[in-house]
Structure 1
């Protein structure tokens, strides 16, 4: 071939080769710089003040979560035993946590009022007779009117008052007469399931916190279908890659797990309140005087505080995440830009 042709071909080839290498180098440099900038923003240390605030918020979230779990445990065990005071009087344990309370059985000196107070708890049904300094547990759930007859027998109420529950004889007491043609029983499965569900959610949240600190690789995404992997907040990658993830990632993962806490705090009082409404509706249909059926004050207040504490815990985790994302690398290093 002519020399000029060779030179022209070489001259055409070299710029094209250099252009490809230059574009590839620019792309790799841009990707490297972006990766370094992303790593610097997420993995660089926080300022001491910001880090203290993040630690305080996480500790406050732990405290609120512990409070929510204690409330559910107290709700589950309330009314399960009898407390005897020093003067010999008896009362139901944690009686203020009763879901519903109503009066009956022993008439008072005042018209259409009674001396005995029945209390329906999440896992028990009992009574208190302050005038006789006596209390007792009848069962795990109210069975009316048979439980009322059992309480009357325990309090030595004359058998003529509740004779209609044993045979064709009429009841001498108008209170028992009002319950003769009615029957009521509450299932115990749903309240138990709701309380156990709440405790399982609390254990899951705390276990996730332990694994984040000790073995984060155990939280690796195990989703089989790709549609689930797109929304799954769990990390993906090898064990060294997961353990090298910055705290900003785990703040996002925490927000996903802690958002389940309000659900755990809502379900038990919702189920118990529905059962309480059913009990009060049944009592309202009995013409037995003023039974003063109402929700327990302690139950309402404590469950409302538990629900608010669960939302406050989620807010603490959210603010912790905002503190992790709200500052750049230069701000974390204490460098400011003059306008």
Structure 2
């Protein structure tokens, strides 16, 4: 009885924990795709969920301080590319340069659209970025930029860092949500429609399918331990899905930061765009993957606790048999349902012992 309560609690906890990756992954897809008001500056806007970018760096406008730095923050999200300058003297103070999936993402080509564009900074003097009109590097003397940042953009555009299959983060994050919906649907079917959970694969691949084999009626004879084995496969598969966005974000993010490190070499000595990985993004993705791991561990422990007790006497001590009534013991013997000794057989077995 104690094990049953623990097993039930483990299953409920496992199901509930998966709500974390189910919420986190769609949330990361909408990050950077909308504007929010700036409470410190009425009428100005900020990028929504700006802290959840995969990579962020600074550029475009140089500060007037003795130790100058760049003022405009550029951010690469799973589904967007944005800029923001909350302290800009005039509006706009932020812009979305790319929103939605794309087959190819060239960050430096997007940065080039900032001066004078609808979603960019309209007041940048043309002589700061006129070198962008050149098709080679270094540009002619009369085409040189007065801002070294744009000169570096020109060079990196020609020797560009490009993110191919830029739609992949969208696919990975959506696939996590779809997988979790499928898992919860399977939980419902295990309780309400066990027959729907039987393997219906072609004969030549049935050996690879983790679902139980047999007819819909056979599925009703399976015990909870057998279904926990199916659950374990489903939950660990969900773990794999949850780790894919984390792996992709870490790889693409590190490559992007490395490319921006080369970008720094084209800036004046001591200047940097301060490229860094997004701690908020990595933290949420890693946290959601960790929640999925704990969920799968709970289901695995539940499967272990529910394993059949070997030996008839051990079954009787565990409460699996009722000597008076010979209640069925749910288990498997040779792949067929085994109901244990019945009624009168119980006394004869007891006399032998």
TM-score bucket of the superposed structures, by smaller chain: 0.7 to 0.9
From 162, 182, 203, give the equivalent of 2:129.
162
Alpha-carbon distance between aligned partners in 2 of 1:119 and 1:76, rounded to the nearest angstrom: 14
Question: Which residue in the other structure is 1:205 paired with?
Answer: 183
Q: Structure 1 residue 182: deviation in Å? A: 2.0
From 14, 19, 22, give the equivalent of 1:66.
19
Q: Aligned Cα RMSD in Å?
A: 2.2
Note the residue ranges of structure 1 that are not aligned, 5 or more in a row: 1-46
Question: Which residue in the other structure is 1:5 paired with?
Answer: none
Question: Which residue in the other structure is 2:227 paired with?
Answer: 250
Equivalent residues in 2 for 1:51-130, closer than 5 Å: 51-86=4-39, 87-88=41-42, 89-108=44-63, 109-130=65-86
Equivalent residues in 2 for 1:27-46, closer than 5 Å: none
Once structures 1 and 2 are overlaid, which stretch shifts more, 61-70 or 270-279? Answer: 270-279
Alpha-carbon distance between aligned partners in 2 of 1:144 and 1:245, rounded to the nearest angstrom: 55
Contact 1:115 1:130 in 2 (8 A): no
Q: Structure 1 residue 331: deviation in Å? A: 4.5
Residues 198 and 334 of structure 1: CA distance in aligned 2, closer, same or farther (over 3 Å): closer
Q: Structure 1 residue 64: deviation in Å? A: 1.6
Q: Structure 1 residue 173: deviation in Å? A: 0.3
| SS of residue paired to 1:119 | strand
Equivalent residues in 2 for 1:135-154, closer than 5 Å: 135-140=94-99, 143-153=106-116, 154=120
Cα offsets for 1:227-267 (capped at 9, x unmatched): x4345332222322212321111111101111101211111
Question: Which residue in the other structure is 1:18 paired with?
Answer: none
| SS of residue paired to 1:101 | strand
Q: Structure 1 residue 306: deviation in Å? A: 1.4
Q: Structure 1 residue 326: deviation in Å? A: 6.9
Matched, 1:333 2:319: yes
From 296, 318, 322, give the equivalent of 2:300.
318
Contact 1:199 1:264 in 2 (8 A): no
Which structure has the highest helix share of the two?
A: 1
